[in-house]
Amino acid sequence: TIAELSRWHPSKSSDEQISLKGYIDRTKEGPNDTCYITGEGIAAGSSSPFLETLRKKGLGVMYTVDPVEEYYVQQLQETKAEFE
């Protein structure tokens, strides 16, 4: 599926891109929600005050830097159960 092929920039290592399954595997012990932050780029997303709150909780975040990615992540919530 396209969900298996998609790659995201995670906040814990924005130099690489990971799959949704990779993101889920990294957050197995955390909340069941997918955390993502939208911005015009990784730099904009990483400077968001909301990200600091998530970091304090030890949560990883996926950066969505394209408007279609935000929509896509919302749709993936249904698909995410397949990877868990």
Tell me the two tokens of residue 62: 């996926």
Could you report the per-residue pLDDT of 34-75, keeping only the tens digit for each?
A: 678 888 888 888 888 888 888 888 788 888 888 888 787 777
pTM above 0.95, yes or no: no
**CA 32 to CA 47: how far, in whole Å?**
24
Cβ-based neighbours of 8, under 8 Å, separated by 6 or more: 17, 18, 19, 20, 23, 36, 62, 63, 64, 69
Could you report the per-residue pLDDT of 1-43, keeping only the tens digit for each?
A: 677 788 888 887 757 888 877 877 776 565 556 678 888 888 8
